Amino acid sequence: MSRRAGAALLLLLLAGGLAGWWFWSPPQPHLTLTRASFSDLVGWRDDRVSAAILPFLRTCLALSGKADTAATDARPNGLDFGYVGEWRPLCHRAAGLPPHDDAAARQFFETATIPLLAANNGAPEGLFTGYFEITLNGARQRSGVFQTPLYRRPPEPGRFNRGEIEDGALAGQGLELLWVDSPVDAFFLEIQGSGLVRLPKGQIVRVGYDGANGKTYVPVGRLLLDRREIPREQLTMQAIHVWMEAHPKEGAALRRENPSYVFFRELKGEGPLGAEQVPLTPERSLAVDRRFLPLGVPLWLDARQRFGNDEIRRLVIAQDTGGAIRGPVRGDLFWGNGDHAAAGAGAMNARGHYYLLLPHSVAERLLGNAAH
């Protein structure tokens, strides 16, 4: 959902790391890669590895129209993550795997790729959050409870801030895409970047990110922490949503402190679409920082919730990006839609690391370059 001011999402949760930032200049982020083996991947033999084959094949579909000599993706920081011709044999092999066969999928990755541990200046631990496809109630026309507009992208998207837009700066120009029944849900739709809108007769409309006004994103979670409205250990998307619903006047004022505003378009077909323009797969598609990692690369994610002992260990595919997803070891896991997805994404605030699973030629070249 190449989306979202909204992956700004759980920058909310980074607020605790801001204290004292003015005393030192952190080093520039830099991706470092270290050879590993599949025996280093804790939980590798327990994962349903075959569940990652579908999103991997969707990435292969994105490569299908490219020449073998084309780069698989932009060269992040000049790093060479290979050419289409180096990845295409993996695509052909993956397409021939029996469905739902974890042993076959596991053997495929073990023979076709080499795992490399990613780190930021040698530090492998990073932050992992979650996002999901929110469901709202809405209508094509303004009426009754449907009083909050979702706007299409205007000709001059950067002209107005949130407060001005909420005060009617875009009204009457035919830019209203849909009307929804909750300003709180509309705000969280902006954070997520895409969602489903259920119309009065039951039809479902999928909407997706279509740009923003370019104003600085102010994470409301940080504001709530600063004002001691929600304890740090209880700060989740659900907690913020509940607070806004319980304090409608204060919540409206809080939202206006974030001048950033997101515009939407209606999406057709399967979705939502990630930055690769292929459908995302729940719990298997990861948003990453494209400055450091290419889209399409398989990653072994090993993370633990910061508040609790839940572990998230699974094979995922880098298929999306997000405004708050910044750094060599940083990810945002797509959870899908529905109550389970909302709960999983809202509660996800984990620390961990990941391994890149790369074709042998690509891995050896990267390791060789790093040695010089």
User: Cα–Cα–Cα angle for 31, 36, 41, nearest 5°?
Assistant: 105
Q: Give the model's confidence band at 269: pLDDT under 50 very low, under 70 low, under 90 confident, else very high.
A: confident
Tokens (6 digits) for 253: 């004022």
User: Judging by DSSP bridges, how do beta strands 285-287 and 349-359 pair with one another?
Assistant: unpaired
Question: Cα separation of 95 and 93, whole Å?
Answer: 5
Q: Can you tell me the mean pLDDT for 162-188?
A: 97
Q: pTM score, two decimals? A: 0.82
Percent helix, percent strand, percent coil in the chain, to nearest 5:
35, 30, 40
pLDDT at 71: 87
Q: 272-329 pLDDT, tens per residue? A: 888 888 999 999 999 999 999 999 999 999 999 887 678 999 999 999 998 778 899 9
Burial of 362 (0-12, 13-18, 19+ CB in 10 A): buried
Residue 324 to residue 118: CA distance in whole angstroms:
19
CA-to-CA dists, residue 40 to 31, 300, 330, 353, 359, angstroms: 19, 11, 20, 12, 18
Q: Are 33 and 370 in contact (CB under 8 A)?
A: yes
Least confident of 93-107, 117-131, 231-245: 231-245
Q: 372: helix, coil or strand?
A: coil
Determine how β-strand 262-267 pairs with β-strand 311-320.
unpaired
Percent of the chain whose pLDDT exceeds 70: 91
Six-digit token string for 163:
């407060």
What are all long-range contacts of 140-147, with beta carbons under 8 Å and residues at least 24 apart? 140/178, 140/179, 140/199, 141/179, 142/176, 142/179, 143/179, 145/181, 146/179, 146/180, 146/181, 147/179, 147/181
349 three-state secondary structure: strand
Contact present, 316 and 46 (Cβ < 8 Å): no
The residues with which 355 forms a beta bridge, in sequence order, are: 117, 300
More confident residue, 1 or 137: 137
Average pLDDT over residues 260-273: 90
Q: What domains can you pick out in the chain, each with its CATH number?
A: 28-128+282-335+346-370 (2.40.40.10), 129-267 (2.40.240.50)
DSSP E strands in the chain: the ranges are 31-35, 113-120, 126-139, 148-151, 176-180, 194-198, 204-212, 262-267, 285-287, 298-305, 311-320, 330-337, 349-359
Instruction: Provide the mean pLDDT of the chain.
Output: 90
d(C-alpha 334, C-alpha 317), whole Å: 11
- Sequence letter at residue 50: S
pLDDT at residue 237 tops 90: no
